[in-house]
Structures are given as C-alpha cells and as structure tokens.
Amino acid sequence: MMEDHLTGFRFFPTEEELISFYLHNQLEGSLQDQLRRIIPVLDIYATEPWNLPELSGELCREDKEQWFFFAPMQEREARGGRPTRSTAVGYWKATGSPCHVYSSENKMIGMKKSMVFYVGKAPTGRKTKWKLNEYRAIEIISAPPSNSSSSSMPMFRLRHEFTLCRVYVVSGSARAFDRRPLELVAGETIQGGDAGDGSSGESASPSRSMIENNAEISNYRETISMETEEPIWDWEPLNLF
C-alpha cells in the first residue's frame, strides 16, 4: 500500500514507468485514488509554473526538483485546434522536435515533447528556468496476425485524453530526473531530444519506421514544428521565478 512508502518517500520514476504504468493507468481509469496522491489531474497550462509545486500530489509536494501532473485534453484540442499554453503572465514554448520513448524491451511506447516557460508575450518573452516534459502514450489499435509476413504493419495512435507532464526547474544537475545506476542509463534506448541517438536503438528500426510513417504521429510532429518557429534566446532571469 502507498502508506508503506511515506517515510523517506521519493518519487523518481523512469520515463518507461511514467508512460507504461502511470499514464496508462490514468487513461484506463485504474488506481485513481493511489495515482492522485502522486500525480493529480490539473490544467497546468492555465497556471503559473511557480504555483504548481503546491498543487502537486500530496506525497510529492515537498520535492524541490520536479513535480508531475496529468493534463486533460483541452476543449480546443478536442475540436481539432492547437492547445493553448498561455497563462496570465507568460507562455510555454516547445523546444526542438518531439522524440520517441522506448521501453526496456526496445518497443516504442510514447512521445515526449519538451517546453520552456517564458514571461511576457510571444515572441519577445523572457526565458525562465522552468521547463516541462509532456508525455503521450502510443497505443497499438491493430496488429498483424502472428502467422502473417513480417512486412505487415500494425496501426498506431496517440492517446490524447491525458498527457503526463513533468515540471521541473533547471538545477544544473544532469541526473536530477533519472536516479537509476549509471550503467542502466548508459544502456537506455530512449532516442532523440536530450537522450541522443545511440547505436543500441538500431535493433528497433522496423518499429521506428512503422511509427514514423503513421499519419497521426507525423501530423503531431508538424504541429510541434509550427510552435518552434521563433528562435529561443539565451537569457538568465532574476531568481524571482
């Protein structure tokens, strides 16, 4: 039970655990009471990031490094529009391209998008130290029969009902998020973004190409590229945020 972990409890999940366990259980409506104590449901894009720590799950509220939230799909996004990521004093801006997240078995399980919070109005806002990783789960909706040829392509779709968001402040520590032993991190198969393209991911190339060619995920990538047209200027803010 969750009560067994109260003393010295620290929540340092891997990206695989975030997507395969926490996000999938949220999408399926399972373990709701337990999940809420760690990852609450909140429209984080309508809240200033420095107010988010006090709104985080009760078991993670004292964390000084990172906080997690389930963000529900916005009505605008459900109608086919782009989500709104502006608050009263600033906005979240996507950085780079979304990247795939792999399981320990080298299977594609989700997509990750990174963002930075800016104070002010776009495109002249001031960059802060508040950052965000947004995770979406990938679901196989149909798969070829086991006796079919290997060239048959399964169908995938992104789950949009909820995203799992990790909000954090840049601390200068590269290992603030992933606390696994270094030898495990070195063998990680998560590609792109801040993880890099290691040779260990080559064995997953058939699965990667299948998802790369999926129309929905391609559209998702195009949407993000539209959000990152303006350059991100280096700026060190005052320690007010």
Please report where in the chains the tokens 């290997």 appear, as a residue.
150
Q: Is residue 198 a contact partner of residue 187, using CB atoms and an 8 Å limit?
A: no
Q: Break the chain into its structural domains and give their ranges.
A: 11-227
- CA geometry: angle at 41 spanning 27 and 121, to 5°? 115
Burial label for 210, CB within 10 Å (0-12, 13-18, 19+), is middle
pLDDT computed for residue 180 by the predictor: 46
pLDDT computed for residue 94 by the predictor: 94
pLDDT computed for residue 153 by the predictor: 65
Per-residue pLDDT of the chain (241 residues; tens, 9 = 90+): 445 556 667 788 999 999 999 999 999 999 999 899 999 999 999 999 999 999 999 888 888 889 999 999 988 887 887 888 999 999 999 998 999 999 999 999 999 999 999 999 999 999 999 999 999 999 877 666 666 555 566 677 889 899 999 999 987 654 445 554 444 444 443 344 443 333 333 333 334 545 555 555 556 555 555 454 443 333 333 333 3
pLDDT computed for residue 16 by the predictor: 96
pLDDT computed for residue 111 by the predictor: 96
pLDDT computed for residue 145 by the predictor: 62
Alpha helices in the chain (DSSP H): 15-17, 24-28, 32-36, 75-78, 182-186, 205-212, 215-227
pLDDT computed for residue 67 by the predictor: 95
Q: Is residue 156 a contact partner of residue 211, using CB atoms and an 8 Å limit?
A: yes
pLDDT computed for residue 65 by the predictor: 86
Q: Is residue 98 a contact partner of residue 121, using CB atoms and an 8 Å limit?
A: no
If one counts every other C-beta atom within 10 angstroms of the C-beta of residue 149, the result is 7
Closest CA to 136 of 17, 19, 56, 4: 19
The tokens for 108 are 């594609």
How is domain 11-227 classified at the architecture level of CATH? Beta Complex (2.170)
pLDDT computed for residue 132 by the predictor: 97
pLDDT computed for residue 104 by the predictor: 93
